[in-house]
Amino acid sequence: MEKLVIKGPTPLKGEIKINGAKNAAVAILPATLLIDGICTLDNLPHISDVMISCEILEKLGAKITWNTKNCITIDTRHIDTTQTPLDLTSKFRASYYMIGSMLGRKGEIEVGMPGGCQLGARPIDQHIKGFEMLGATVSVGNGVIYAKADSLVGNSIYMDIVSVGATINIMLAAVLAKGTTTIDNAAKEPHVVDVANFLNAMGADIRGAGTDIIKINGVDRLNGNSTYSVVPDQIEAGTFMLAAVATKGDLLIKNCITKHLDSITAKIVEVGGIVEDFGDSLHVYCNHRPSKANIKTLPYPGFPTDLQPQMGVVLALADGTSIINESIWESRFQYTQELNKMGAQITAQGKTAIFEGVETLSGSPVCSTDLRAGAALIIAGTAANGVTEVHNLEHIDRGYEDIEEKFRSIGAQINRIKT
């Protein structure tokens, strides 16, 4: 077991380089199963979700060569089995992308029920509905999902709810299907677009990703033989933007797509921070106590739920009373109890939390309840007076590369300690 020990307060200052996007990487890796060839993936974040994805691909027959820490070459010419290791697939959420990819590649797949952060109920009915409309049969039982299709045929699929995972999964299943698939009410997140860009670079014909309607014209084969660089991580960039504001710091955040961060920039400006936009980098600073703001999380281009806890730290320290309405996940306020241990005054009920801003937080032992909650607690520990210990690091390591090195490089006094 490990913990992070943080001594604050420290205004975070300096430059930080953003890695490739976790949520794009964990979809692009399974997407390589659709390729009857070899491809190279660059700008892959070196995080545990990526490592587990690679392990699953290898168990299915893929050959992976690590060129550098963030670049792999993957040969998916020989996929020998349709059974994924159930213990590995149930370790993280994105293992459900193996279903869309393997239905396309082999017409059959068995995966463990996806794991991941406990944010409330995480149904996959829209994924299943999409697969069935393409001609697959899907059964779920005893912690296992089994899907089979003699052939997949394009169809018009209306999503009852905007779902990132279902949009990507149906796109994966449709790439090699016969005819045209239309996904209506599709998710528009940057990683949906990135997966479509990757597949198109490998020979797919996907149009409209990033809008409400995605059209996939089925092709016979994906050839690969190409190098693809994963999009910069919108959520990692937003995490550091909010860390700059919460700690009254001054950060230059490099290697990001600033357009993806518009909703965060707008809220930072609303609370009194300054954001200078240079297209592929952002200068964010705030030399005073932030002011209150209200937030509602929404699908892209709305304020992302995955930055709600980090924004929560800013509002916990803000001047005045703020309200966050979480519209995506039903239990994403577990981190507020941890912040309250540090002196915050937050009342959370259901999907709403009221933040009575306090001037300072004080260090305390806290528990990372999920991935983004963990990032929020590191920010809180950096802003707080005294020593904070963050426990349960496995969540954080699933999604942030070298998190403590990065915080240390911008001034945080943070150390990882074995317990």
What are the catalytic residues? 117
Q: Rule CB under 6 A: say whether 388 interacts with ligand UD1.
A: no
Pairing of strands 321-325, 13-17: unpaired
Q: Is 126 in the site for ligand UD1 (CB under 6 A)?
A: yes
Which H or E element spans position 71?
Answer: strand 71-75
Residue of 106, 122, 148, 416 interacting with ligand UD1 (CB under 6 A) = 122
Name the one range near ligand UD1 by CB under 6 A: 160-168, 281-289, 336-344, 357-365.
Answer: 160-168
Q: Under DSSP, is residue 383 helix (H, G, I), strand (E, B) or coil?
A: helix
The only residue of 89, 163, 239, 263 in contact with ligand UD1, by rule CB under 6 A: 163
Total of chain residues touching ligand UD1, rule CB under 6 A: 21
**Closest distance to ligand UD1 from the beta carbon of 23 (Å):** 3
Site string for ligand UD1, 292-311 (x = CB under 6 A): -------------xx-----
- Regarding 26 and contact with ligand UD1 (CB under 6 A), the answer is yes
* Distance separating alpha carbons of residues 239 and 259, to the nearest angstrom: 15
Tell me the C-alpha distance between 413 and 419, whole Å.
Answer: 18
Residue 119 CB burial class (10 angstroms; 0-12, 13-18, ≥19)? buried
Q: Which of 98, 172, 214, 328 binds ligand UD1 (CB under 6 A)?
A: 328
SS (HEC) of 300-348: CCCECHHHHHHHHHHHHCCECEEEEECCCCCCCCHHHHHHHHCCCEEEE
- Using the minimum distance from each CB to ligand UD1, give the nearer residue, 252 or 379: 379
Residue from 63, 78, 123, 417 touching ligand UD1 (CB under 6 A): that is: 123
Indicate the SS3 state at residue 14.
strand
Q: Which of residues 84-113 bind ligand UD1 (CB under 6 A)?
A: 93-94
* Vertex 10: Cα angle to 7 and 13 (nearest 5): 135
**Site string (231-270) toward ligand UD1, x via CB under 6 A:** ----------------------------------------
Q: How far is the CB of 116 from ligand UD1 (least distance, A)?
A: 7
The helix (H) or strand (E) run that includes residue 22 is: helix 22-31
Is residue 125 near ligand UD1 by the rule CB under 6 A? yes
CB of 60 to ligand UD1, least distance (A): 19
End-to-end CA distance of the chain: 5
Give dist(CA 251, CA 178) in Å, integer. Answer: 49
Least distance to ligand UD1, CB of residue 21, Å: 9
Q: Are 44 and 72 in contact (CB under 8 A)?
A: yes
* DSSP states of 216-279: EE--S-EEEEEEEEPPB-HHHHHHHHHHHHHTT-EEEEES--GGGGHHHHHHHHHTT-EEEE-S
Q: Which of 8, 85, 165, 218 binds ligand UD1 (CB under 6 A)?
A: 165
Given the structure tokens 């983004």, which residue do they identify? 372
* Contact between 59 and ligand UD1 per CB under 6 A: no
241 vs 12, 16, 215, 285, 363, CA distance in Å? 10, 10, 34, 8, 22
- Token pair in block for residue 330: 């039903």
Q: Report the residue number, 124 or 317, with the smaller CB distance to ligand UD1.
A: 124
Query: From the list 19, 23, 308, 368, which residue makes contact with ligand UD1 (rule: CB under 6 A)?
Result: 23
The residue sitting closest to ligand UD1, measured at its beta carbon, is: 165
Minimum distance, C-beta of residue 124 to ligand UD1, in the bound complex (Å): 5
Q: Rule CB under 6 A: which residues touch ligand UD1?
A: 23, 26, 93-94, 121-127, 161, 163-166, 187, 305-306, 328-329
